Structure 1
């Protein structure tokens, strides 16, 4: 009945459970004591207005080609998942899909899926707090098709794909997350999507720390982006985010790359000790760079080439080995009140 609390005794339940009433399902003995396992369907299909799942392990094991559903599948209603363990070799551990589908996930472990750890699609919404999402194949967490994804105090790591993927005009919000050791970008914002990333650490990834691509926008502030194998921040293909008050350092390529007719604002950042230039601007891009300290690079603090442009104001470009600023013929920048150890180059 609606409003009931159902206590589940310890054990392994090999079945697919459909919940279409407003109930609370609570595992006795904690998430390691109660397991719901399914082979060819979602373990939990949640279709009620108000459902709470607490203290349960959900495990999906498929012997055939997986269909596009999650081990926990939310197609409508408000769902709360607390203290659960989700794993799957299907399409996703948690799938939230549809304009009437919303999930609030707290203190859960979501891991070891061939596809997505969390997938929000088709105008769905999902908020995750204090979760560990790891070792998933395509992305630890993703939002597609005008969906909304929020992560707070989460760890997303060790994936074979992206840490967080926001695309198809979706929105993402990340606060105090630790995103590391993923094979692709820690946070990727694609296709007119918007992301607000605050007070996060993005590090030791095999790709970039953050990528904005194809008219993507957003605000990145008070973050540390370091020790990634590609450029720490990539702004590409007509994108225009704001990068504010961030520390960007010890990357294996440039600190920030702005390319492909992109813009954006980079302000109040400290960018240092990256292998290439602190900031690279190319291919008709035109960012505003102001009040930044860019130092200790083996290449110029800022390198502008292949038709790049930009405004540089109130920056400290001292202590870069080959000089403060390099502007290739055919490129152009406007400088004001910039500190450097050499005279500014002519464009």
Structure 2
């Protein structure tokens, strides 16, 4: 909020507790309005609307390059609506900052968010978003790019953040939690990027990337979600770097139905299902990861999947370090796989693969188990 520091103090001497100021490009003398709607109608592109603390029960359509900025703590500047989006953003260079935005329902939810972005390049900074509707934030459309920083996005029965229909959204330093279907999701050839974010305590997925979409995750902490921490489905691609995925009720990461991607320098631990699942013709690269203390296998490769697993340490999972099954054929190389109550690597039900330059010692039931009908090429392993 540095660029708005001149106007960040609460007004004094005003009887109207819900006063708003418009700071125009053409004048530094603010004009006062009794509602955000009135201020929007009077504003021109490039203006800043400064919102005093209070509760504003309005559903706003912003279709010009306006900055809407709360004065003081975001918890004190509240925009709320019933059965409509609080903010519908439809222009380039819209800036939303320092607000609490919350949507309520009187009837059944429809497919809108507390904040809907349907066109343009939009920035949302230091806001608190919650919703009783379909999502807290919806970003959609091929000409739509949303940048979301330092926000708390929470407590929606549907999605925390939903990007669809070739939309693009980047989240930085956000906490997304306690949402019903997924903390964040990308559908229909969309692009979702998260950096230094926390996705936690959801009733569904931490993140869901599907329908040929792309996901990027850098230094994210993803934990305590009811389903997979990150699920990559239906020919989608996701790259995860330096992330932690832990204490989930499902897997840490699932690649499913021809999914691809790179998972590098991540820690995956203490999940109730396999830490990493590679299923149904998927082909990711898992590199330099630590995978441990899971309640099932470390990595499961099944249903004619492939992929590369290299330079990983996999240890202390309840089942095998890696399970390969149902015609799958991964390359496993330079991995340290140890301290499992079962085998280091178990290959069965027609599984195949290459295992090279791995340390497979210190597993209770041996280094590699190969069931009849399965076939594995091995070289230079320490057993």
TM-score by length of 2: 0.89
Describe the SS at the equivalent of 2:121: strand
1:303 to 325, 335, 346: 346
Of structures 1 and 2, the larger Rg is shown by 2
Q: How does 1:61-210 map to 2 (within 5 A)?
A: 61-210=104-253
1:237 to 260, 280, 283: 280
Describe the SS at the equivalent of 2:306: coil
CA RMSD in angstroms comes to 0.4
Q: CA deviation at 1:63?
A: 2.0
Deviations 1:87-119 (A, max 9, x none): 001000000010011100000000000000000
TM-score by length of 1: 0.98
1:343 is matched with none
Q: CA deviation at 1:30?
A: 2.1
Query: Which of the pair is proportionally richer in helix?
Result: 2
Q: CA deviation at 1:29?
A: 1.2
Query: Is 1:48–2:72 an aligned residue pair?
Result: no
In structure 2, stretches of 5+ residues that fail to align are: 1-43
Q: CA deviation at 1:207?
A: 0.1
Q: CA deviation at 1:215?
A: 0.1
2:74 is matched with 31
Describe the SS at the equivalent of 2:75: coil
2:45 is matched with 2
2:299 to 249, 252, 256: 256
Q: Structure 1 CA distance, aligned partners of 2:122 and 2:157?
A: 24
Describe the SS at the equivalent of 2:303: coil
Describe the SS at the equivalent of 1:81: strand
Q: Structure 2 CA distance, aligned partners of 1:193 and 1:260?
A: 17
Describe the SS at the equivalent of 1:32: helix
Q: CA deviation at 1:160?
A: 0.2
